Amino acid sequence: MMTPAPIPSSHASPAPRRRIYHNLTFRVLTAICIGALIGAIKPEWGVALKPLGDGFIRLVKMVVTPIIFLTVVVGIASLGNMARAGGLALRALGYFAAATTVALGLGLLAGNLIQPGSGFSGTPSASAAEAAKAKIADAGAAGHGVVGFITNDLLPTSFVQPFVDNEVLKVLV
């Protein structure tokens, strides 16, 4: 009597599909809809839930800089040779330029079509005006131009300072 040949692994039955409620995108969109419903139906509940949202935002901010740092370090370490690194840098620069151009175009289009702030005629309070003047004076005293930007805004004072201050640009530098 002959036994049938085993089915090759390439013809094995597909893995069972995951339920949609296990999908992270579905969960996030559901949470957004629930939050909008709470805000529309019971706004006082939305105000009471504000600390929960604030805490979540703080937790996300806490992990962003280490994740970016580790992503860049692992990416550079896995490149292997400098030719691949140069190609990757060129592609990243191209993507950055394209995304910036699209974002600026959309911003200009939205600003010209919607004209935000066109009907606003308010004046700042005295304390806000003084705070703005002090901030401008501090910026002028710190130095401006290319050298001031590099020394004050790009270069960190220590290795851990950008992580503590949550400054992504300094982490990347």
pTM beyond 0.75, yes or no: no
39 Cα distance to chain centroid: 25
Is residue 159 over pLDDT 80? yes
Is residue 48 over pLDDT 90? yes
Q: Which residue has the higher pLDDT, 77 or 56?
A: 56
Please tell me whether residue 17 adopts helix, strand or coil conformation. Answer: coil
- What CA–CA distance (Å, rounded) separates 129 from 137? 12
On average, the pLDDT of the chain sits at 84
DSSP for 45-97 reads HHHHTHHHHHHHHHHHHHHHHHHHHHHHHHHHHTT-SHHHHHHHHHHHHHHHH
> Using CB atoms within 10 A of its CB, is residue 6 exposed (0-12), middle (13-18) or buried (19+)?
exposed
Q: Which residue has the higher pLDDT, 69 or 78?
A: 69
Q: Which residue has the higher pLDDT, 150 or 103?
A: 103
* Mean pLDDT score, 147-173: 86
